[in-house]
Amino acid sequence: MSRLKDKTIVLGVSGGIAAYKAAEIVRQLVTRGANVRVMMTRNATEFITPLTLQTLAQSPVATDTFNLTQESQIGHIRLADSADAVVIAPATADIIAKAATGIADDIVTTVLLATQAPVAFAPAMNVHMYAHPTVAENLAKLKARGVTIIEPAEGELACGYEGKGRLPDPAYIVEELERMLSSHDLAAERILVTAGPTQEAIDPVRFVSNRSSGKMGFAIARAAWRRGAQARIVAGPSSMATPYGVERVDTVSARELLNETSRNFPWSTALVMAAAIADFRPTHPAEHKVKKNPKGLALEMESIADEMPRIAAKKGNRILIGFAAETQNLETNARDKLKRKHLDLIVANDVTQEGAGFGVDTNIVTIYGIDGAAENHPKLTKDEVADLILDRMIALRARKSKSRPLRAVR
């Protein structure tokens, strides 16, 4: 479930060309269940009409601090008090300067001074304006007061220049709002996640792989970042978009994925092995494409060494979580893997069950602990499963910290 469901998000739109993107921000917020209240500067109404945003938000748009009709319906103080979060998008250099110096000369700046809710700014302006020392100083002032600054994107700008200054993707703005309204209970963690399949070459054009999409691992990394952690994905070949705020290391083969996992392991405080790593690979990959043969093709396969015991030997106070995708004997196979790989937890699923296989947005899991515990969960979205796993990780961390406090691992 989205952290924005039933939350009141006040969106402030200021007068830049990117104001038209406010419509998509409103749409995405509403889709995630938020109650959206829009306020606009007078200049913003030159770029997009209040009626457009009112229709999408299904609530009146505030444009004038002293409009008696609007005041009776919303009121700038009521608007400020009702907010669970306030976001200014786009945030022009002008409104950033006013907010930094405490000027309140319109509905947007007045609400900014009156609200007690967390605030975010998404700057959007000409590349040279964004680079100007005054803008940098004003953004630094806002950040020092606890305001979240959503960094602008780079690319072609409406003014014809190219560089940093584009309004961030509306989806990223919404992700930042979800993070703002989430408990940062993982703020002390650096979570390394493996995700997706691996590909083992038969020849330069063919490979052996599996059906993993990477959705579960990417959901875990996204949830970890939202809950305050630093998150990094070591991904096999996957078409999944990198979650906002998450670092990504791309790999292809099992050897590459395992090497990158080992290389990044010292950085982490927890490792979640959600990737479907190949158990076998062709013993002698062909240097050139194997031509079609009516007699067929026989592949000699060799086992891929299990790296987890070697990684686990260096775990220290890190938490290790694995996955077991099974088609039979779920508990026996999962508990064996839990012990053999020296894991703290293992998340097992029967991929023959409808809604628990590869490439779908849901999962049906049982979580087994090294202490013998087992938790069965019904069909949930992979985002919900991700939060469940992270909840168990926090409980494990609490138990471990009683004997050994979490410290930076270098």
326-339 pLDDT, tens digit each: 999 999 999 999 99
Minimum mean pLDDT range among 69-78, 155-164, 184-193:
69-78
Give dist(CA 111, CA 9) in Å, integer. 13
Asked whether the CA dihedral 150, 151, 155, 157 is positive or negative, the reply is positive
213 and 333, same domain (yes or no)? yes
Write down the pLDDT at residue 155.
Answer: 75
**What would the mean pLDDT of 229-237 be, rounded to a whole number?**
98
Question: For residue 3, is it within any domain?
Answer: no
Say what the pLDDT of residue 162 is.
73
Question: Is residue 252 assigned to a domain?
Answer: yes
Are residue 243 and residue 281 in the same domain, yes or no? yes
pLDDT at 400 over 90: no
For residue 161, pLDDT over 80 is answered with no
Mean pLDDT value of segment 304-309: 87
Active-site residue, selected from the candidate residues 131, 136, 159, 373:
159
Q: Tell me whether residue 174 is in a domain.
A: yes
| pLDDT (average), residues 321-326 | 96
pLDDT of 65 higher than 50: yes
> Residue 282's domain spans which residues?
190-401
Whether 124 maps to a domain, the answer reads yes
Q: How many other C-beta atoms can be found within 10 angstroms of the C-beta atom of residue 196?
A: 29
Which whole-number Å values give the CA distances from 268 to 12, 82, 191, 230, 311, in the listed order? 38, 39, 6, 9, 12
200 and 317 assigned to the same domain? yes
Instruction: Single out the residue in 155, 180, 205 at which a domain terminates.
Output: 180
The DSSP call for residue 292 is: P
Considering 124, 146, 180, which residue would you say is the last residue of a domain?
180
- Indicate whether 160 and 261 sit together in one domain: no
My answer on whether 100 and 209 are in the same domain is no
Inside any domain, residue 242: yes
Q: For this structure, is 4 an active site residue?
A: no
pLDDT on residue 67: 62
The CATH number covering residue 81 comes to 3.40.50.1950
Tokens of 379: 């069909």
Contact present, 227 and 253 (Cβ < 8 Å) = no
* Mean pLDDT on 103-117: 95
On the question of pLDDT at 68 being above 50, the answer is no
Give the confidence band of 403 by pLDDT, cuts at 50, 70, 90. low
The verdict on residue 248 lying in a domain is yes
CB–CB of 50/43 below 8 Å? no
Q: Are residues 51 and 167 in the same domain?
A: yes
193-208 mean pLDDT: 97
Quick one: 236 and 174 in the same domain? no
Tell which of 180, 198, 225 closes a domain: 180
Least confident of 115-129, 152-166, 255-269: 152-166
Q: How far apart are the first and last CA of the chain?
A: 35
Q: Is residue 140 part of a domain?
A: yes
Cβ(98)–Cβ(22) under 8 Å?
Answer: no
pLDDT of residue 408 exceeding 60, the answer is: no
410 pLDDT band (50/70/90 cuts)?
very low
Is residue 145 domain-shared with residue 288, that is, in the same domain? Answer: no
Q: Which two tokens mark 225? A: 């970042």
Report the distance separating Cα 109 and Cα 113, nearest Å.
6
Q: Which of 26-30, 111-115, 309-313, 364-368 has the lowest mean pLDDT?
A: 309-313
Domain of 267: which CATH number?
3.40.50.10300
Residue 308 forms part of a structural domain: yes
Residue 395 predicted with pLDDT over 90: yes
pTM: 0.89
pLDDT confidence band for 57 (50 / 70 / 90) = very high
- Are 57 and 159 members of one domain? yes
Residue 11: beta bridge partners?
A: 38, 87
Q: What is the pLDDT of residues 1-55, one digit of tens each?
A: 678 999 999 999 999 999 999 999 999 999 999 999 999 999 999 999 999 999 9
| Whether residue 158 has pLDDT greater than 80 | no
Percent of the chain with pLDDT over 90: 82
CB atoms within 10 A of CB 249: 16
Same domain, 59 and 134: yes
> Do 289 and 149 share a structural domain?
no
| Partner residues linked to 193 by β-bridges | 233, 272
- What rounded mean pLDDT belongs to the chain? 92
How many structural domains compose the chain?
Answer: 2
Mean pLDDT across the stretch 166-185? 95
**Pair 310, 389 in one domain:** yes
